[in-house]
Amino acid sequence: MAHINDAEVVYIPTNDSDFVLTPEKLQKAIDDHPKAVGLVLTYPNNPTGVEYSEQQLKNLADIIKKTDLFVFSDEIYSTLNYVGKHTSIAGYLPEQTVVLNGVSKSHAMTGARVGFVAAPKELISQIVKIHQFAITAASDTSMAGAAAALSPAGDKSNEKMRQTYLKRRNYLIPEFEKLGFKVAAPDGAFYLFLKIPADRDQDDLAFARELAYKAKVGLIPGSCFGQGGEGYLRLSYAASDENLQEAVKRLTEYLA
């Protein structure tokens, strides 16, 4: 989207800081790019599952509030959090934050295409001008489904889903560690970001193809997610327990 709008993207690799954007990394990026206008922050994160604590967000906010940067905070996985209550950076930077969220992940309604944005009024008025000509509105059925999802009954459903994902995460992490993968244990979302074992091909695209064709298991090359993802594979555990167990079985047999 940035490229479509003729913006220059500045990447900040975080593979050497447990995939967390640190205040030091952010300050250096700001110093190196004084004309920057926005920061995209995604948490819990796809592909790593990294979540930010209140203190980590406060530390970032202390730096951002000294600038004119807007934070585009993608919090679509906010309800799928395994380590406590999700905190939005908007609480610390209400006049500089655009929060993006929706029901796609929280209530497994990806096909409904219902999302929402929260931002300062002046910015929302400009967003609406684009939105009304690009989308007009979500369908009646999608909006009715989203209303039900965001009701108390929907919250119960979400909690059940969160517990299911947590169970799958806790099953998969030790299984992949047995196979020699280093796992960045996710605090949220439903992905594992797997460091390829040192004795295997570190070309993640080639290794992913090998596993797809020979082990019949589909994983996403980490380099698809940008700098810092080289040498990793991403697994989604938004799949049935049976399929995940079969994937582990196939990988165990193949890698042996």
State the Cα–Cα distance between residues 6 and 135, nearest whole angstrom: 21
CB 72 within 8 A of CB 98: yes
Q: Classify domain 23-142 at the CATH class level.
A: alpha beta
ω before 94 within 30° of 0 (cis)?
Answer: no
Q: What is each CA distance from 156 to 40, 160, 161, 252, in whole angstroms?
A: 30, 6, 9, 36
**What single-letter DSSP state applies at residue 5?**
T
* pLDDT confidence of residue 86: 95
Average pLDDT over residues 235-249: 97
The model carries a pTM of 0.87
Q: What is the residue whose two structure tokens read 């497994």? A: 108
CB atoms near residue 74 (< 10 Å): 18
Q: For the segment 136-167, what is each residue's pLDDT rounded down to a tens digit?
A: 788 999 999 999 999 998 888 889 999 999 99
Given a cut of 90, is residue 42 above it in pLDDT?
yes
| Beta-strand pair 38-42/70-74 | parallel
- For residues 145 and 33, give the distance between their C-alpha atoms in angstroms, rounded to a whole number: 43
| φ, ψ at 39 (rounded to 5°) | -125, 125
CATH superfamily of 154-255: Aspartate Aminotransferase, domain 1 (3.90.1150.10)
pLDDT digits (tens, 9 = 90+) for 84-135: 899 999 999 999 999 999 999 999 999 899 999 999 999 999 999 988 888 8
Q: What is the pLDDT of residue 153?
A: 87
The model's confidence at residue 226, banded by pLDDT at 50, 70 and 90, is confident
Alpha-carbon torsion angle 120, 122, 125, 127, nearest 10:
-60
**Would you say residue 56 has pLDDT above 90?**
yes
Which 3 state secondary structure label does DSSP give 1?
coil
Q: What is the mean pLDDT of the chain?
A: 94
**Three-state SS sequence of 137-187:** CCCHHHHHHHHHHCCHHHHHHHHHHHHHHHHHHHHHHHHHHHCCCEEECCC
Give the mean pLDDT of 69-88.
94
CA distance to 5, 185, 211, 247, per residue, from 202 (Å) = 34, 20, 13, 21
* Residues above pLDDT 70, as percent of the chain: 100
Q: Does the pLDDT value for residue 11 go beyond 90?
A: yes
Give me the pLDDT at residue 40, please: 96
Q: What is the pLDDT of residues 164-203, one digit of tens each?
A: 999 999 999 999 999 999 997 799 999 999 999 999 989 9
Domains 23-142 and 154-255 share a fold: no
Q: Which residues contact 198 (CB under 8 A, 6 or more apart)?
A: 180
So where are the chain's domains? 23-142, 154-255
